[in-house]
Amino acid sequence: MRDFRQLLEGRWQQSCLCVGLDSNYEKIPSHLKSLPVKGTIFNFNREIVDATQDLVCAYKLQIAFYEAKGPEGIAAMMETVEYAQERYPDIPVIVDAKRADIGNTNDAYTIATFNVYRFDAMTLHPYLGIGALQPFLNRKEKGCIILCRTSNPEAREFQDLTVQRNGTEMPLWKYVAHQVTEVWNTNGNCCMVAGATYPEELAEIRAIAGDMPLLIPGIGAQGGDIEATVKAGKDSRGTGMIINNSRDIIFASSGPGFAEVARQKTIKFRDEINRYR
């Protein structure tokens, strides 16, 4: 059985970089588009994975880009997961879907994500509370990546609201960090999202979370600084980070050699991350 945390631990010594397969069909190189949508997206992903597999700690698929292309997009997503896991079985594959609901709905989401699509981990939002997330948390071998401090500029609208926890005032994102670390992580399969665009908050989340894995979006196109991110986000062993980069890598070139360009970009980001670990 694949265990998300064990897979991560096995990859972290060589890399803390996650390549995001946010495979927007409109941006895929035109020379691949002689095939139907499914074949185009899958072949693009396959070439990226083959070119970068020795340089990453994980892959992350943003489900929206696959859902946007209907059944063919979903089929390409599933084929990508199957290919990556069978060809490179030591690399975990994450879905960025930000799910959470209640009751039977979450039971169905859990089955779809982990049994049908076969992802190793999933992003989840905490707004409905632990009861809503329990079906995910019960899957001990799967990663439950809870949104804590997201990387977008609008994050402050709600995440900076002041709340009380045990008589102490704190921003909502810090409350979430404490709850995930101290209450929700009974199976040791929780992780948190902490954006590179807020390095001071990232450092505070790391101090609360200990050696819990953090998924860190926001470097590259969103402007997060790698040195500040690594110094704030690394755990006691200099690892613990899943630093995601999508567009800057996978769409670095639209020519026939796009996969090799993506590889060179991945090496650049991987090496810069390792420099500050």
Catalytic (active site) residue 38: no
pLDDT in tens, 153-210: 899 999 999 999 999 999 999 999 999 999 999 999 999 999 999 999 999 999 999 9
User: Quick check: 105 and 22 in contact, CB under 8 A?
Assistant: no
CA–CA gap between residue 234 and residue 217 (Å, rounded): 14
User: Quick check: 21 and 80 in contact, CB under 8 A?
Assistant: yes
DSSP string of 168-189, one letter each residue:
EEEEHHHHHHHHIIIII-TTS-
pTM for this predicted structure: 0.97
Residue-number span of the structural domain to which 171 is assigned = 4-275
Of the given ranges (195-204, 214-223, 234-243, 267-276), which has the lowest mean pLDDT? 214-223
Out of 33, 98, 140, 231, which one is annotated catalytic? 98
CA–CA gap between residue 89 and residue 14 (Å, rounded): 16
Handedness of CA 15, 17, 19, 20 (dihedral sign): positive
User: pLDDT at position 103, please?
Assistant: 80
Q: Express as a percent the part of the chain with pLDDT over 70.
A: 99
Q: Where residue 219 sits, what CATH number does that domain have?
A: 3.20.20.70
Count structural domains, the chain.
Answer: 1
User: pLDDT at position 221, please?
Assistant: 66
pLDDT in tens, 40-78: 999 999 999 999 999 999 999 999 999 999 999 999 999
